Structure 1
């Protein structure tokens, strides 16, 4: 039986049920957790495979670029299709395609064949399907939890993804140390478990079909999403600043992998450093809901970029694995709070029938820059070396911190924030929860105060979800 939504504190003075009480949210969380784990294991193994088998930094950067290129090419059309199609079916299709693509890598490695072109193509296909999956999952969250718990759900989803990073990165490195094909075969199994879980999701409440002469035209629908985001000055400015920081961090990840290899470290060491980042992200996600209720997004963006600008230069002087792990812990902790704040803000203010298109524009800006960061950093490392590359990345982050402080401290920032934060009048587009007769209503489960993230180990991100 589907649980009836209870009024939030603002409506009836009662606590909302725990997120774990919503069956579809649990299934969505679990299926996506398996999918994220599979994507992270194979994604990290792509870089290790190329770097360890070819020794070419530019080739590793090229594969990283191929894996991130869909963030630039696929986002906008994917957003339109996600708004048109059944999102649950989209997610299931994405899982199947990724499972087959990764299986081809495991098969080629079993035959002792490593081709950079093949790895790049599979990385592109997997990431393309991940774009569709993330947009679909994030859009579905509004249909499986009440509006009052969106912030808690997003924080829990982000905690899931960060927690998976903590587990997947060292696991992928350890499996790669056993044999290069092991992380890819493991990803195939995880994708299979994800598919089984998603099959059990109930039928989705889709927004009504869009009407009008241009409703089915791809270009018109993409333009509508772009105009919606661009018309909100506060929102678009925050997105552009965050996009710049994502570019920097993508370069930092590749550079640290090169530093470890230059110093004679093992592939597992990189996994442990990434695991430290995953733990930091998990802690940051669990704190993100609390911070999001107390500070507006503009203050979180300023504080985050200032902190990043302060700690990043340490990578120039301290190349030890422990120091780099501490750096990734701190930067990921901060990054998770920014992600929770941004995702909650976007999902809350976007009309239901535009979730896919607006989400695609957001992901294009904040993640699309990462592909350029991977490609550019690969060639920069070849040209000037790891130390000068780290110095350049630190300088870019310092500039972003200054821009964020200048933009969001001006008098008009608060006014733009209030204008953008107006709730969308789309109640008619969101089908109500079916009523359940009071006599049949099950006892209320243990509940949490509205907005408090549930335990990610017993409940569920979408998103952004997946990977």
Structure 2
């Protein structure tokens, strides 16, 4: 008797997803944002160089740098509220126009061979403020241009874009400044203009934020975003751990610069070490989507912090530039994968009409930690020296790895991960091009903490238990 070979049963519910390049709006969003980020990098570094070369004042350069960082702390929360109230595509276009005009005033003043520190500081503040609005709007727009099951791949592609621009933008800005002071600013204006043309061709949001009740105060909407984040223990814990790890890495960057100077290294050596970190971040972002599809966020958190805790102490014993370059490559590679996972997770679980507020809370915690890390490490270096500072930073990372292992491997963590990964459904999750995937049945909508109806939830949860 001859038995028929049974073929492997076909998996149900699986669909081969098209390439991200096949989505016209995603291509336009990605391209326009790439040019916008490159424009900011060209002018951002040139601000510091311009002040140093024309005034010779380090304090003036510090003032301009502070003006560029201040919006990350002051503007985040109100920007999140406004992004949830307004049409996000129009917000992005407005940000590009304002930044283009502001930077153009610097190029014009340089053609007249005139430099005012207050003018440069104001332009740096305006550009950075508009960047906050732009980043929050762009992240929210991603849900409008790709299906939900490709959010991870889209976020990985966007992160790779930003890492790649960072790797190229800063050296390019320095090289252009060497040709003439006005070149990086005029190049920035041209890039902003090209970005605007691209965004004009982008279709509007398929599901814009719901209109807010008139008379509602901004403070209550900011509180709603804070309460939404604080009310999700799993997400809140992951965010706090990531914020502390960002604090550690900002301290590591400053400490390594001090180590190179103490050992008689050249300033260019620090740039090469940072470039190694940039390359690691780019490679990590490119692989972040692959890892995000195979591991749950809780597993990525455990693996990443454990790996950081293992490699960071090497800086205490190996202070040579090649060893530090390898260290930065590894840490940045891991950091990019964590960023992709975290952004994908946040965008997926957040209702569409709260994307701006929740994103602003996330960015505020991350930016605040970075600022505190740089400030605190400076005092620590003066008090105990570079070697002991590296040891202290390594000890903090070891504690974070232990906390992540305990929190995300405890009983019930997998269930919390699955519960938070049930994603809000809206029209943005089914782009009209290419053909949308079959939609599952949809239950009745729930409600969120601010009293507005939440987006309905799908029955189909993303696989998160690894």
* Shift in alpha-carbon separation, 1:21–1:318, aligned structure 2, 3 A: same
- Shift of the alpha carbon at 1:19? 0.8
Paired with 1:314 and 1:435, the residues of 2 have a C-alpha distance of: 49
Q: Which residue of 1 aligns with 2:337?
A: 337
Deviations 1:68-113 (A, max 9, x none): 3322221111111111111111112212222333345555666777
Decide whether the 8 Å contact of 2:83 with 2:356 is kept in 1.
Answer: yes
Unaligned runs of 5+ in 1: 1-8, 439-450, 452-467
Decide whether the 8 Å contact of 1:288 with 1:341 is kept in 2.
Answer: yes
Paired with 1:379 and 1:65, the residues of 2 have a C-alpha distance of: 18
Q: Which residue of 2 aligns with 1:153?
A: 154
Paired with 1:323 and 1:177, the residues of 2 have a C-alpha distance of: 30
Q: Which residue of 2 aligns with 1:199?
A: 200
Provide TM-score, normalisation by structure 2: 0.80
Q: Which residue of 2 aligns with 1:393?
A: 393
Decide whether the 8 Å contact of 2:284 with 2:334 is kept in 1.
Answer: yes
* Shift in alpha-carbon separation, 1:258–1:176, aligned structure 2, 3 A: farther
* Shift in alpha-carbon separation, 1:127–1:200, aligned structure 2, 3 A: same
SS of the residue 1:293 aligns to: helix
SS of the residue 1:207 aligns to: coil
State how 1:401-416 maps to structure 2 within 5 Å.
401-416=401-416
Total equivalences in the alignment:
427
Between stretches 365-374 and 115-124, larger displacement belongs to: 115-124
Q: Which residue of 2 aligns with 1:368?
A: 368
Paired with 1:88 and 1:31, the residues of 2 have a C-alpha distance of: 11
**2:143 equivalent to 1:131:** no
- Shift of the alpha carbon at 1:221? 1.5
Structure with greater Cα Rg: 2
- Shift of the alpha carbon at 1:148? 2.0
- Shift of the alpha carbon at 1:326? 2.0
Deviations 1:41-84 (A, max 9, x none): 3334455666787585x876665544333222211111111111
Provide TM-score, normalisation by structure 1: 0.80
Paired with 1:379 and 1:116, the residues of 2 have a C-alpha distance of: 28
Paired with 2:260 and 2:105, the residues of 1 have a C-alpha distance of: 29
Q: Which residue of 1 aligns with 2:41?
A: 40
* Shift in alpha-carbon separation, 1:245–1:92, aligned structure 2, 3 A: same
* Shift in alpha-carbon separation, 1:307–1:95, aligned structure 2, 3 A: same
Cα RMSD (Å) of the superposition? 3.4
Q: Which residue of 2 aligns with 1:225?
A: 225
Paired with 1:241 and 1:346, the residues of 2 have a C-alpha distance of: 15
- Shift of the alpha carbon at 1:298? 1.4
* Shift in alpha-carbon separation, 1:100–1:377, aligned structure 2, 3 A: farther
Q: Which has the higher contact order (CA 8 A, sep 6+)?
A: 1
Unaligned runs of 5+ in 2: 1-9, 437-461
Deviations 1:432-456 (A, max 9, x none): 6559999xxxxxxxxxxxx9xxxxx
* Shift in alpha-carbon separation, 1:13–1:143, aligned structure 2, 3 A: same
State how 1:89-108 maps to structure 2 within 5 Å.
89-106=90-107
Paired with 1:65 and 1:242, the residues of 2 have a C-alpha distance of: 24
Q: Which residue of 1 aligns with 2:22?
A: 21
SS of the residue 1:289 aligns to: helix
